[in-house]
Amino acid sequence: MFPGAHHLVFKHNQFINQQIDAGPTGIDILREAANPDAAYDSSARDPAPRCFPGTREQFVEDIVHWAVPAVGTDDPLPLLWMKGPAGVGKSAVAQTCVKKLKDMGRLGAAFFFAVKIRDKAAPFFPTIIYQLCLEFPDYRDLVDRLIRPDKTILDKAMATQFRVLIVEPLQELERKGKGIGKRIAIFVDGLDECESKNAQRDIISIIAAAARDRTTPFCWAFFSRPEAHIEGTFTIPDIIKITSTSVLPVSHDADGDIELYLRSSFENILRYHNISLKYQWPSDDDIRTLVHAANGLFVYVATAVRFISQPGSLPDESLHEILATISNKRYKYIAIGALLSPFTELDAFYMLIMERIPPHILPAVLLFLREIHSTSPNSQSVAFISNCLGFSEVTFKAVYNHLCAVVHLQGQDESPSYLNADVNQPFQFASRNVVEELMGFVDCKLGFNLFLPQVIP
């Protein structure tokens, strides 16, 4: 300590050996492993979808009351699953609930999987843990001490991360009398957009096990499309009994909310262009046309409004282009540059769904879509359509499982006997020329080589 020193005398002194660690803290390491874009207030999601004021009020109220039950009442079930097909507004409901709970001080964390990309599962729990650290300082200190000496914790399996960095620290705080104490909500939106089905199932199972054993004070809300593997996981006996399920359907019951959204959005467009609100635009007939075309889907009108209100556009011309698209009439839209498609964004979204269908299933899916597109709505049963295509019940269910995000099967909760078919054998087949006609359409128009089951004349 004192090289080369001579004749030194120390009296009544105290030496302190202080080591300065300039390395990253455990929280720094955790932040690097997290996905900041998945947060409810991330700039990557700005503007985030949210319910328009006055719409979806009952759904939002029910979920907030589930997360924060009235004083003196028993806690509701610890898991909630809101399911619904693509475009009905699940993310908007989730975002609106998250904001309300944040303002109430009852939100622990929220993770929004991205729609346009396949989010990896690896950052999921690190993101949840990091957000919890920001909310609860005592918990943050424990997590920091756990990660700093062992960075590999964040490389371990999701179940291990959950146990070591969520369950065990919270249990330690509880023993010290520093537990969270109150019911705190964590929201997971777009679970079906996670990179793999196995990861989606694992996330549900890990969280459900903790909720069942009451090892954490959290309640968890999931929002997703009713994909078959997710539906199957939530119906596992140990999980279904602790889960409250809510359905956000495609329904004309939402027409009133959609009309309210449209009228307010068009008023904002008029204000942006400094046009008096006394100007009757668009007409009531145009509003009714858009509401009817939406068919209960908020994503349809939201996409239409974004197209009409984009900077540099002529709103009246853009509106007429959309109305012409709805009526299947050609409308000449003259503009500088390329012709814009009103629903390019929506088309891209549905293309993502189609691109994720495995190649060996895609031909059957295309045949099914062709048939239901050419058939009058509600005029034919599933059994009839499958008869025409030569699908067994097993084949039909495989096809439907890949389309449940965008196709609603009426009566799917009823007994499967309504299909009137042996699950291992094809339905009665239609004549050969019916299937050959469908095969020719798909082969010529869509360019796919098809393999069909043998058709009996």
Mean pLDDT, consecutive 10-residue stretches, the chain (457 aa), reads 68 58 84 93 85 92 95 91 89 96 96 73 95 96 94 94 96 92 93 90 97 94 93 95 92 90 92 83 93 85 83 81 70 39 59 75 83 60 75 81 67 38 40 42 33 29
Domain boundary pick from 347, 365, 399: 347
* pLDDT for the residue 137: 95
Is 19 inside a domain boundary? Answer: no
C-beta neighbour count of 227 within 10 angstroms: 18
Q: 93 and 195: one domain?
A: yes
Is 14 inside a domain boundary? Answer: no
pTM over 0.85: no
Q: 194 and 155: one domain?
A: yes
Is 39 inside a domain boundary? Answer: yes
Nearest to 88 by CA among 239, 233, 246: 246
Residue in this structure with the two tokens 């975002």, named with its chain if needed: 95
Q: 120 and 71: one domain?
A: yes
Is 452 inside a domain boundary? Answer: no
Q: 218 and 80: one domain?
A: yes
* pLDDT for the residue 448: 29
The upper half-sphere exposure of residue 143, i.e. CA atoms within 13 Å in the direction of its Cβ, equals 29
List the CATH number of the domain containing 67.
3.40.50.300
Domain boundary pick from 286, 312, 347: 347
Nearest to 214 by CA among 189, 237, 242: 242
For 219, counting Cβ atoms within 10 Å of its Cβ (0-12 exposed, 13-18 middle, 19+ buried), the class is buried
* pLDDT for the residue 176: 92
**Contact criterion met (CB below 8 Å) for 386 and 421:** yes
Is 421 inside a domain boundary? Answer: yes
Q: 280 and 385: one domain?
A: no
Q: Which strands form 243-247's sheet, in the order they lie side by side?
A: 107-112, 184-189, 218-224, 79-83, 243-247
Q: 176 and 204: one domain?
A: yes
Domain boundary pick from 249, 274, 305: 249
* pLDDT for the residue 336: 35
* pLDDT for the residue 334: 36
Q: 215 and 261: one domain?
A: no
Q: 257 and 244: one domain?
A: no
Distance CA 23, CA 43 (A): 29
**Beta-strand runs (E) in 252-315:** none
Is 190 inside a domain boundary? Answer: yes
Per the structure, how many domains does the chain have?
3
Domain holding 271, by residue range, is: 253-347
Nearest to 307 by CA among 338, 275, 341: 341
* pLDDT for the residue 285: 94
Question: What value does the CA radius of gyration of the chain take, rounded to a whole number of Å?
Answer: 28
Q: 239 and 276: one domain?
A: no
* pLDDT for the residue 75: 86
**Contact criterion met (CB below 8 Å) for 457 and 431:** yes
Specify the DSSP element, H or E, that contains 24.
none
Is 79 inside a domain boundary? Answer: yes
One DSSP character per residue, 45-85 reads: GPSPP-PPTTSSHHHHHHHHHHHSPPTTS----SEEEEE--
Q: 245 and 259: one domain?
A: no
The secondary structure of residue 451, as a DSSP letter, is -
Q: 178 and 210: one domain?
A: yes
Is 380 inside a domain boundary? Answer: yes
Chain CA centroid to CA 1, Å: 62
Q: 153 and 271: one domain?
A: no
Residue in this structure with the two tokens 């964390």, named with its chain if needed: 109
